[in-house]
Amino acid sequence: MKVRTLLCVCALLFSLTVAAQFQPERYPKREFRAAWIQAVNGQFRGIPTEKLKQTLISQLNSLQEAGINAIIFQVRPEADALYASQLEPWSRFLTGVQGQAPNPYWDPMEFMIEECHKRGMEFHAWINPYRVKTSLKNELAPGHVYNIHPEWFVTYGDQVYFDPALPESRRHICMVITDIVSRYDVDAIHMDDYFYPYPKQGVDFPDDASFARYGGGFSNKADWRRSNVNVLIKKIHETVRELKPWVKFGVSPFGIYRNQKSDPLGSKTNGLQNYDDLYADVLLWAREGWIDYNIPQIYWQIGHPVADYETLVKWWAKNTENRPLFIGQSVMNTVQNADPQTPSMNQLPRKMALQRAYQTIGGSCQWPASAVVENAGKYRDALMAEYHKYPALPPVFDFMDNEAPDKVRKMKPVWTEDGYLLFWTAPKYKDEMDRAVQYVIYRFDAKEKVDISDPSHIVAITRDNFYKLPYENGKTKYRYVVTALDRLHNESKIVAKKVKL
Q: Which pLDDT tens digit goes with each residue over 26-39?
A: 999 999 999 999 99
Q: What's the whole-number mean pLDDT along residues 221-241?
A: 98
Quote the percentage of the chain above a pLDDT of 90.
Answer: 95
* Sequence letter at residue 246: W
Q: pLDDT band at 277, cuts 50/70/90? A: very high
Q: Amino acid identity, residue 287? A: R
- Burial label for 86, CB within 10 Å (0-12, 13-18, 19+), is exposed
> How far is Cα 32 from Cα 69, in angstroms, rounded to an integer?
7
Q: Which pLDDT band, with edges at 50, 70 and 90, does 252 fall under?
A: very high
Average pLDDT over residues 366-388: 98
- In the chain, residues under CATH classification 3.20.20.80 are 30-385
Q: Is residue 313's pLDDT more than 50?
A: yes
Average pLDDT for 186-212: 96
Q: What is the pLDDT of residue 272?
A: 98
User: ∠12-13-17 over CA atoms, to 5°?
Assistant: 115
Q: Strand, coil or helix: what is 171? A: helix
Rounded to an integer, the average pLDDT of 282-305 is 98
The domain defined by 30-385 folds into TIM Barrel (3.20.20)
Which residues sit opposite 35 in a β-bridge? Answer: 71, 366
The SS3 assignment for 160 reads strand
Q: Which of 91, 248, 87, 246 is nearest to 171 (CA)?
A: 87
Which residues, in sequence order, are CB contacts of 241 under 8 Å at separation 6+? none
Q: Are 365 and 327 in contact (CB under 8 A)?
A: yes
* Diameter over CA atoms, the chain: 86
Averaged pLDDT, 176-191: 98
Q: β-pairing, 361-367 with 325-330?
A: parallel
Residues 314-340 have pLDDT tens digits of 999 999 999 999 999 999 999 999 999
What pLDDT was estimated at residue 24? Answer: 67
Whether the CB-CB separation of 410 and 425 falls below 8 Å is answered with yes
Give the pLDDT confidence score for residue 12 in this predicted structure.
36
- Report angle CA 238, 218, 268 to the nearest 5 degrees: 80
Q: SS3 for 436?
A: coil
Residues 456-481 have a mean pLDDT of 97
Strands 32-37 and 70-76: parallel
Which CATH code fits 407-498?
Answer: 2.60.40.10
- Helices 167-183 and 221-243 cross at an angle (nearest 10°) of 30
Position 413 pLDDT exceeds 50: yes
Give the pLDDT score at 23: 52
Strands of 159-162's sheet, edge to edge? Answer: 131-133, 159-162, 153-156
**Please, which pLDDT band fits residue 18 given cuts at 50, 70 and 90?**
very low
Query: Lowest-confidence range among 19-23, 245-249, 258-262, 457-461?
Result: 19-23
3-state SS, one letter per residue, for 73-116: EEEECCCCECCCCCCCCECHHHHCCCCCCCCCCCCHHHHHHHHH
Q: What is the 8-class DSSP label of residue 12?
A: H
Question: What pLDDT shows up at residue 435?
Answer: 98
Does the pLDDT value for residue 86 go beyond 50? yes
The residue count for the chain: 501
Q: Where in the chain is the domain with CATH 2.60.40.10?
A: 407-498
- pLDDT at position 430: 95
pLDDT above 80: residue 240? yes
Residue type, 276: D
Report, as an integer, the average pLDDT of 240-264.
Answer: 98
Separation between Cα atoms, residue 7 and residue 169, nearest integer Å: 61
Burial class (CB in 10 A: 0-12, 13-18, 19+), 300: buried
User: Do the Cβ atoms of 171 and 232 come closer than 8 Å?
Assistant: no
Q: What is the pTM of this model?
A: 0.94
C-alpha 439/C-alpha 462 separation (Å) is 5
Q: How would residue 10 be classed by pLDDT, with cut points 50, 70 and 90?
A: very low
Q: Is the per-residue pLDDT at 6 higher than 70? A: no
